Amino acid sequence: MKNDRRDFLKASLGAVGATSALHASSLTSAGAPTDGKGRSQPPFRLIWEAEWNDMPCADYPLTKERWVEECIRPLMSTQVDTLLYNLCSSDGYVCELKSGELLMDHFDQLGDAWVWRYRENTKRLIEADANPPKLAVEYGHRLGLKVIPIVRMNDPHDQFFRYEVSRFKKQNPHLLLGYGKYPINWETGFKGLPPELKKGIDSFTWGMFDFAHKEVRDHKLAIIEEFITRWDNDGISLDFDRDPRYFKEYGKAENAALMTGLMRQIKAILDRTGQQRGRKLYFHVRVIPKIQACYDRGLDVVTWVKEGLVDAITPGCGYITVSLDLKPWLELIAGKNCWIYPSINHWRTTEETRAWAMLMYQRGAHGVNLFNYGHLLFGHNAKTPPQAERQNTIWFSEAHPDYYRVLHEIREIQSFEFKNKRYVLESVPHEAGLEGNAGKAARDYRAIGDIVLPVQLAPGKHRVGFGFADDLEKARRQGATPQVTLRLKIANYTPPDELDVSINGSVLRRQTRQTRAVFIMNNDTWVTYPVPEELLRLGDNAVEIDVRKLNPQMSENPVLKNMEILVEYDAGLAAAHA
C-alpha cells in the first residue's frame, strides 16, 4: 500500500411549482440580510474550506487541545468569515455519526502505521467527548464564523486505499458505477486492474456510488440530515466535484430529475431546521466548471438556481483557477438569491493566491474559497523558503510566517491591491490513453478543457490567453513602481531555437531575454522577459510565440509547459532604471 497519501491527493482535479415557491419565501423570512430590493446580500466573502479528514493521521495520541491548535488556531484574527469543514473520505467519516461509518472501523488489522493513527486518533477524540463536528461548531462560532459541514457526494479514495472502503459498499456492490463491468476487488483496487482496464474515466470511478439507486440517495440523505440537525451548523455544503460522476449514463433527463429530487429534500430539511432555529441555513455546492457538463452528469444547476434550492455555488473547485470563466455562472444567477465563489486547490504561495483572488474579483466573484490549504499536508517551517518545491507536515506553531498571510489580506481588495502577485497558468496534459485520472481523461472528467497548456512549440505561431487584474497605471499614480516579468517554462528549449515572443501584438526585445535551466539534468528551462507595463491591459491579454526555426540537432520539439506573469511592487527604482 502506498505510504504517501499526499501524492495521490495532488494527482486528484424543470418548472417552478409550489415547492419552489416555499423555498423562495424562506430566503428572506429566516433572517438573511437583503439589499432593500428583496435580494439577499452575499452570505460569504472569504471561505476557508478545511480538509479535516486528514487531521487524525497526525501523531498519536491526538488530544482535543492539539486538534483545536491545528484546526482552529490558523483562523483566529483573520479575514475569514466562513468555515467549510470536511470530515469525510470515501464513504467513511473521522467523527461519530449515527447514519455514517467510522473510517476504517471494520478492519481487525491494518498494514500501515499512519492508517492506524488515522482510525485510533479519531476514536480517541470521540471517547474524550471531542467529536469534531461539535468542536467545529463550538469554536467556529466563538470566532464569529459561519460554520458549514461538507459531505462528499462521491469519493474514489477507497479504490486506491483499501482500508477506506466502507461496510456499506462491500455489502452492496450492485450500487456501484462499475457493477457488472469492472472487477470490484477492494484488496487490489485500481492497482490490480489489468492494463487494458486502467485507461479512461471508468478505470477510476468503478467503485463510486450510482445515484440511480434509491438506496444510495437515501444513504447520503441520512448523513446530510444528521449534519444539519444534530449540530448547530449554519447550513450544508455538498461536494459534487469530489468526485464528479454520479450515473453510468451521461445526459439523461431522468438522472437529473433524480438528483434534483434529492436537492429538494435537502432544501426542505434546511428550511425546516432554519425556521426552528430562527435563522437562515445556507446551501452551498461545489460543481465542475461547465453548466452543460454538470447537467450531463445529472446536476441540473439551472433548475437548482431557478427554484432557489442553492444559495452559493463554487464552480471548478480549484481544478481550474485563472482560466475559469465566471460569465456563464454570473448570468445564470443574475437576479437570484445565489452567489458565486470560485476556489483554488492546495496551498499556493502568497503571491499566486493574491493574483488569483484579484482576477476572480475582477471577473465578478462574490467571494473566494480557499480549498485544501492546511499546513499538515503542505506546510513549511520558518527556515524553509515559501517557494520550496516540496512541503511537509508541520505543526501550526512551526509554520512559516508567510504560510497563512493571505487569510489576513484577500477578503478586501484594498488589502492586497498593490502587493506582489504571480499569475500562474494551469497546465494539464492533452494526451489520450494515459493510465488513470491523467491527460485527456482528467480534462474530460473535470470539464477543464479551457486549460490551454501545455503547448507543443512546432514552427509557427502559438497563442496563449491570460487574464490580468493589476491596474498598473493606478499603481503609478499612487506612488508605486511596478515591475512585470513574463516567465515561460519550456521543455527542450536550446539557444539555437529562433523564436519571438509578443504580448498583445507587441514583440518583446530578444536582447532582454534571459534563460536558466531549472535543473542541470532535466529538460526544463525558464525563459524570462521584462514586460513594459504599457503592453498589459486589465482583463484579457495574449502571449504569442512565433517559432521561426528549431535546432536541427534536437529530435523533440520544445513544449511550453508553464507560464507566469510576475508583478512586483517592491523591486524599487533601481530595478526600474535597470
Contact present, 481 and 572 (Cβ < 8 Å) = yes
In angstroms, the CA 229 to CA 208 distance is: 26
Give me the pLDDT at residue 34, please.
Answer: 65
461: in domain: yes
Give me the pLDDT at residue 26, please.
Answer: 35
Q: Reduced to 3 DSSP states, what percent helix, strand and coil does the chain have, rounded to the nearest 5?
A: 35, 20, 45
527: which strand partners?
Answer: 488, 515
Contact present, 295 and 256 (Cβ < 8 Å) = yes
Range of the structural domain that residue 317 is part of: 5-418
Give me the pLDDT at residue 334, please.
Answer: 97
Helix H or strand E segment including 549: strand 539-549
Q: Is residue 82 domain-shared with residue 182, that is, in the same domain?
A: yes
In angstroms, the CA 149 to CA 340 distance is: 18
Q: Is residue 406 domain-shared with residue 524, that is, in the same domain?
A: no
Q: Is residue 93 domain-shared with residue 236, that is, in the same domain?
A: yes
Residue where a domain stops, chosen among 418, 441, 475: 418
Alpha helical stretches, state H, 162-232:
167-171, 214-230
Span 237-292, pLDDT tens digits = 999 999 999 999 999 999 999 999 999 999 999 999 999 999 999 999 999 999 99
In residues, how long is the chain? 578
In angstroms, the CA 476 to CA 482 distance is: 7
496: in domain: yes
Give me the pLDDT at residue 389, please.
Answer: 61
Alpha helical stretches, state H, 152-201:
167-171
314: in domain: yes
Say how many CA atoms lie within 13 Å of 353 toward its Cβ. Answer: 27
User: What percentage of the chain exceeds 90 in pLDDT?
Assistant: 88
Q: Is residue 205 domain-shared with residue 288, that is, in the same domain?
A: yes
Q: Is residue 115 domain-shared with residue 261, that is, in the same domain?
A: yes
428: in domain: no
Q: Is residue 61 domain-shared with residue 179, that is, in the same domain?
A: yes
Write phi, then psi, for 136 (nearest 5 degrees): -60, -50
Residue where a domain stops, chosen among 369, 394, 418: 418
Q: Determine if the pTM surpasses 0.85.
A: yes
Contact present, 301 and 294 (Cβ < 8 Å) = yes
Give me the pLDDT at residue 8, please.
Answer: 40
Span 296-341, pLDDT tens digits = 999 999 999 999 999 999 999 999 999 999 999 999 999 999 999 9
Joined grid coordinates for residue 120? 485510533
In angstroms, the CA 162 to CA 173 distance is: 15
Give me the pLDDT at residue 183, please.
Answer: 93
Give me the pLDDT at residue 572, please.
Answer: 66
What is the end-to-end Cα distance of the chain in Å, rounded? 54
Give the chain's domain count.
2
Query: How many CB atoms within 10 Å of residue 320?
Result: 27
Residue ranges, the chain, pLDDT below 70: 1-38, 388-391, 572-578
Q: Is residue 389 domain-shared with residue 464, that is, in the same domain?
A: no
Residue where a domain stops, chosen among 418, 444, 460: 418
Kindly give, in sequence order, each residue whose CB lies less than 8 Å from that of residue 201, ignoring residues fewer than 6 positions away: 245, 441, 444, 445
Identify the CATH number of the domain in which residue 552 sits. Answer: 2.60.120.1200
429: in domain: no
**Closest by Cα among 345, 368, 282 to 47:** 368
DSSP annotation of 482? -
Give me the pLDDT at residue 39, please.
Answer: 73
Q: Is residue 192 domain-shared with residue 133, that is, in the same domain?
A: yes
Q: Is residue 76 domain-shared with residue 20, that is, in the same domain?
A: yes
Give me the pLDDT at residue 386, please.
Answer: 75
Q: Is residue 351 domain-shared with residue 465, that is, in the same domain?
A: no
Q: Is residue 496 domain-shared with residue 376, that is, in the same domain?
A: no
Q: Is residue 336 domain-shared with residue 197, that is, in the same domain?
A: yes
